[in-house]
A and B are shown apart, each in its own frame.
Chain A
Amino acid sequence: MRATLAPLLLALAAWTIPACGGPEHDLVVYASHDQEHSEPIIQMFEELTGLTVHAQYDVEQNKTVGLVNRIRAEAGNPYADVFWNNEIAHTIRLKEAGLTQPAESEATRTMPEEFRDSEGHWVGFAARARVIMYSPELLAARGAKLPPNILDMSASAYAGHGGLARPLTGTTLTHFAVLSQKLGRERVLQWLHNSRETDLSYTNGNATVMRRVCQNDFPWCLTDTDDAAAAVANGYPMQVVYPNQTENLRGTLLIPNTVCMISGAKNPEAAQQFIDFLVSPEVEEYLAKSRSKQIPLNPKVTLNLPPEDLPLPYRDYEVLAVDWEATAAELDVVQDEFQKLFIQ
């Protein structure tokens, strides 16, 4: 027995001990994006610059928003240089907490003003739109109609046929923070309260609500364009409507990816290079043509895609104007209220 154990332990040691040191790198990137897309982009950056990136990824399962937690926990001795967030609210909250630093450049200034921080702490790119995805077949079979705008989703005529993610995390939380900031907190809370009485379905995430429409549980849902694109890529005959909202809420909400430099980053030059690279037309074009069909924001991007394949903001639909700083502040307050409503 001893003769068997000794080589086993030696082999284990030979396999494991060399890995005990940390990896050599020129830049640390925290990326809370689809790993399948972020990995090749980081690789492209490495090939282009010759720099080595230590990438760290996130998941939204368990509602931890782990990398944001980690940046907060590491505040005294930052490990990350850059945070690539697949939404915006948490980036602004990091800025409010003093955990980011300005990272403006020629490249970042090419992005539209409404999608970058006035002090240069963050910049948005490659957005997702909040849309209504529906199954035409099931809608017809049920004799149901699509809600004309977001606020009408809770009306009894529509609610029983649709669903959305609970506004506790991710883009749905951001969406409801925007609504709260624009329409008033009381009105949004009342809306959520009413919606639960009119049988609007709530799920734990945008992907889940999309799946439920694919499984014919109900004919429509409020979700993100990347989830709707995933449904179509998986062979489900889904259609998408870009809701134009109401008088008070003109336009469809776009939620961009955001990138920021962490305060006290140990590799600021490489970090700036990476930020510039992310907002470049090449990366936005790559993400637009990927399965998730992220919406390019850089005016220099020239896509040869027809509108039915990827409708573009301003050209094909109106965009809701958002004060992101105010939205992030609102989010801090309403999140507790939403939790009280949904975690019961």
Chain B
Amino acid sequence: MPSPLRHPAALQGLAVLIALGLVIGPLGPLLWAVLRGDAITQLSEPRVALVFWRSVWMAALSAGLAVAVGLPLAILAYRTRIWGAELLAMLMPLTLLLPPLLMAQGWNGLTGWDGLWASVFVLGMCYAPLPALLASRALRTQSAAAHETALMLGGRKLALREMVRTARPAVILGASLAFLFAITDFAVPDYMAALGETFGVYPGHVYTHFRDDDYWSGARAAAPLVLLCGLVLYLGLWARDHWGAEEVGSERQAQSMDWGRQTALTSLIGWSLLSLTLLAPLVRIVYELGVAGPEAPGTWSTRASESVQAALDRGREDIGRSFRNGAMAGGLALLLAPALAHLLVRTKGWCGRSIMTLTALPLLAPGVGYGMGAISFANRPGWSNFYQGTGLVVLVFAGRFLPIAVFLLAERFRSVPRSRDDAAVLHGLSYPRRLIQVFVAPQASAWLLAATLVVVFAVRELDLAILLPGANQSAAVRYFNALHFARDGFVAAFGLLIAILLFLPVMAYAAWTSLCRRDD
């Protein structure tokens, strides 16, 4: 019996409509500014152009640094036998959970580095897990035959080169994402410029315009950034499509490579790289818990314990609310992402890349612009319950971070053999069933990781938290409020507490994947 449910169009269309609603609702004016050509004309002002191009090359350097650190880290942690490889792999994404400003403070406290180059370095370290995580997924799917052949033909050197080749498409996309996050970050350059050599970045220009005038002025200022980010993402996707090679051969996955007598050295390299991206600044943040001037009462440990206690007492409810909002946004992403990811995988060429870029718009736009757009969209007479409630928060957070989930899933769906999907079509499985059976269930761990990342980014989000009534009493607002009012011990303790709690979903994900492995 033919059923409309067998056609993907209905469900995919619904998911696209919701996603487009989440894009066009809040970002309409911004898109209009891009279309009117305002994106380019304002760059004719030399001061604006100077700041814009500085931001571009700084972000490009940070993305390059993220790859230089992230790719070796991924290879060492996921595909070679070094000491503590599993722990290394588990700790690696933790950096993404820490607010970049916290990392900047950690590095500055540790080394005294400041100014422009320190900003490039810190942002590179902050976003190194992006290429690393995407590469790790690709590395895990490398066929055993390809790896073993390389090992036999050219030893470890060729095997490593093959791993790099396998990871290359994912790394290109990871580098694009690192670029996008680095170029839109304002907190780190602002902090580093405040400590050392003064320099401006383009997001500063954008924020200033959102503050000074109306939304249109901010949208106009943000337009070049959004346009550039869209272009970079499109080019990243193009590069992946053209340079990427699909794995052929057996479905047996390659085993981890043994380093033999070089195990100690490679382990040292692996853990040193993790120290750069996580451990070193984290140690400094822990030290900040109880650091105080010479006349402060008590010892480091008593002050540290007071800071932790204060963080627990004052921040507990905010953390609960942040996680609940994040979990709901993650839940919505769980529902929407598979159909969108499948649509992206099945839509080839420029059309697919364009859809993917459009889907990413909420992520490319400055948070303040997205939030202001959401206010003008949702703050209407008669909508007050919706406007002040959690529903709007969930939609807006899900809309902003859905692209992360969709990209991650699309990468995984791409590796599903076409015959499995064709077999499902031939047997007349309904589209939701086909989506779950062929794509989601075998990639359940990626599906959950995608939702987990949405939770993590939603909890970290500050601009939207300030602007949306239902999101305001949150961990992010309390953290940055305390930071502004110089509550150093509290800031360190609360930052660590958030990071530890954010790490819980990641651990839940790790537990889930091990459960899946046991099931199989």
Contacts and interface: CB of A to CB of B under 8 A. Distances in A.
Interface string B379-390: 111001111111
Contact of B296 (A76, A212, A234, A343): A234
B484 A203 contact: no
Given A58-B466, A64-B368, A212 B195 contact: yes
B478 A234 contact: no
A190 B317 CA distance: 49
Contact of B481 (A59, A77, A292): A59
Contacts of A202: 194, 198
A23 B388 contact: yes
Nearest to B203: A62
Given A1-B516, A67-B466, A230-B486, A59 B477 contact: yes
A234 B293 contact: yes
Chain B interface size, under 10 / 10 to 19 / 20 to 34 / 35 or more: 35 or more
Contacts of A231: 293, 486
Given A72-B214, A202-B198, A59 B515 contact: no
Interface residues of A, number: 68
Highest count of chain B CB atoms <10 Å: which of A55, A65, A235: A235
A133 to B, nearest CB: 12
Contact of B515 (A4, A58, A79): A4
A54 B388 contact: yes
A235 B292 contact: yes
Interface string B480-520: 11111111100000000000000000000000100110010
Interface string B413-439: 000000000000000000000000000
A305 B132 CA distance: 58
Interface string B260-302: 0000000000000000000000000000000011111100000
Nearest to B296: A235
Interface in B14-50: 47, 50
B82 to A, nearest CB: 31
Interface in A60-100: 60-70, 72-74, 76-77, 79
Given A16-B331, A22-B387, A62-B187, A344 B463 contact: no
Interface of A: 1, 4, 9, 12-13, 15-16, 19-23, 28, 34-36, 39, 54-70, 72-74, 76-77, 79, 166, 168, 202-205, 207-208, 210-212, 214, 226-227, 230-231, 234-237, 292, 335-336, 339-340, 342-344
21 contacts: A1-B441, A19-B390, A35-B477, A35-B478, A36-B487, A39-B314, A54-B388, A56-B472, A57-B481, A59-B481, A62-B207, A63-B186, A63-B211, A64-B463, A202-B194, A207-B485, A211-B486, A234-B486, A234-B488, A343-B51, A344-B198
**Chain A to chain B: the 6 pairs with minimum beta-carbon distance, closest first:** A235-B296, A236-B293, A235-B293, A66-B466, A204-B194, A22-B388
Interface of B: 47, 50-51, 101, 186-187, 190-191, 193-195, 198-200, 204-205, 207-208, 210-212, 214-215, 292-297, 314, 324, 327-328, 331, 368, 372, 375-376, 379-381, 384-391, 394, 441, 444, 462-463, 466-467, 469-470, 472-473, 477-478, 480-488, 512, 515-516, 519
